Amino acid sequence: MHRETIRFPDEQAMARVLKQSRDTATEVVLRLAWDLGLYRDEIHQVCWNDISFDKKALILPDRQIPMEEDTYQCLLDRCEKYGGESEYVVISDVRHQRMRPESISRIARAALDTEPSLANIRLIDLRYGFILRQIKEHGWPYASRVSGIQASTMQVVFLPAVKLAGYEAEINTASPVVAPSNREEIQEIIQKNSGSAVGVALQLSWELGMESQESVGLTWDQIDFDKNLICLSDRNISIGADLKQSLLTLYRSRTPDADPHVLLTPRSMQPYDRFGISRAIRTALVRGGADITLKDLLYQRIQENEDAVILRCIEERGSITWREAAALLHMEKSPINERLRRLIKKKKLVRIGTKYYLYGTVVSPEDQYDVIFNYLKVTGTAFRKDLADLLKIEARPCGQILSNLVKEGKLVKTGQHYSLPPESASSG
């Protein structure tokens, strides 16, 4: 793909070709490529079961693609006419049989040749045109998601074409349209797939953080139901009640002569490989409305585990610096600072000076002066240690806070004592 010349189909010419091809297999082929960005092989393989008319979306193993109204209506009409004759979407108009890949290319070529400006446009260029429109209208993350191309790869391949098209400045760089999945969504999808190998695979990934290679290699003799453990070669993992029940249900569904692997394909009852289970999980997630990959699931779980390590350390120590957090998780400065900022936004941490504290265990920065003011209104004066205890922080960061308040004229320091300025002390 990197060596391909990306050509831009003329949109007005494409509209005319689609109009001329209405209610034919040609229209279906062109819309699957132009409106939904499918490769020829995907066009050949797409089935009616892959289309959710309720969601107005084409749901593939690796992505979910929303359908515009014209595409939706085209496929709906086609399904009503021929959906009962074949499981495949693309069938011939005459024999109503599944169309070969070569025939798909042939009818697309014939249709495109009716327009002079499309004479050099290939079927793959229709997919490229779809991708470029998504980049322009929705930004790189969204285009990556609906095309199945990694964002980093996409930018390398399509950035020159975007610049050539002259709409780089118009690109919408907003966040993806579909919000990231949350815990409740994942749990709901797990429930929908309860009792299946895919449901168990989701739990192994989401709840335990097991890699796909570990999951597909898991056999029943590695599970100790009495001790609630999964025994891997390098570690033992505790399992909760829900996962244990899911595993027991799956175990009891197997015949005595079944393959000993936990994760078996539903039809052939053969062990999944890591690519197969990743596709199966991705399909389950997409069908459940969660736009997330197995890799994302594992990353989220790793993040949660790392966050828990930070929070547990602060709970034990009282506070932590970014250097201590970086050493704890073996991270560089930039990623650990981003992690700490995210925890602050989630109201898990509070930063005071160079230290981070558990949220709710110290007086937040915006409330510090009011707390000190009200205390000194009663006591008159106080030592740094007294005010540090009041704010529930160490003496050193408290000293910096007090120094700043003195510079701002909000406090007066006399020897080792702090007090309110006369005008503040007499007011209120």
How far is residue 398's CA from residue 55's CA, in Å, rounded to a whole number?
56
> Which pair of tokens denotes residue 198?
């895919």
Compute the average pLDDT of residues 361-367: 89
Domains and CATH numbers, the chain: 11-170 (1.10.443.10), 183-291 (1.10.443.10), 297-358 (1.10.10.10), 365-426 (1.10.10.10)
Instruction: State the DSSP code for 271.
Output: B
| pLDDT of 218 over the 90 cut | yes
**Residue 95: HSE in the Cβ half-sphere, 13 Å Cα cutoff:** 4
Name the band, by pLDDT with cuts 50, 70 and 90, for residue 231.
very high
How far is residue 363's CA from residue 367's CA, in Å, rounded to a whole number?
6
- Please say whether the beta carbons of 60 and 68 come within 8 A: no
| pLDDT of 104 over the 90 cut | yes
Instruction: State the DSSP code for 24.
Output: S
Which is higher by pLDDT, 214 or 299? 214
| pLDDT of 178 over the 60 cut | no
Helix (H) or strand (E) holding 414: strand 412-414
pLDDT recorded at residue 236: 87
pLDDT recorded at residue 158: 78
| pLDDT of 152 over the 60 cut | no
- Lowest-confidence range among 101-105, 110-114, 180-184? 180-184
Q: Tokens 């106080």 identify what position?
A: 382
| pLDDT of 173 over the 70 cut | no
Q: Tokens 């998780």 identify what position?
A: 329
Helices (H), 64-147: 69-82, 101-112, 123-138, 140-147
pLDDT recorded at residue 288: 78
What is the per-residue pLDDT across 74-102, written as a single tens digit (0 to 9) for each? 999 999 999 989 999 999 999 999 999 99
How far is residue 372's CA from residue 404's CA, in Å, rounded to a whole number?
13
What is the per-residue pLDDT across 260-289, written as a single tens digit (0 to 9) for each? 999 999 889 999 988 788 888 878 887 777
Compute the average pLDDT of residues 327-334: 84
> Which pair of tokens denotes residue 111?
């249709």
The DSSP-derived string for 164-178 is HHT-GGG---SPPSS
How far is residue 88's CA from residue 99's CA, in Å, rounded to a whole number?
9
Compute the average pLDDT of residues 254-265: 94
Name the band, by pLDDT with cuts 50, 70 and 90, for residue 153.
low
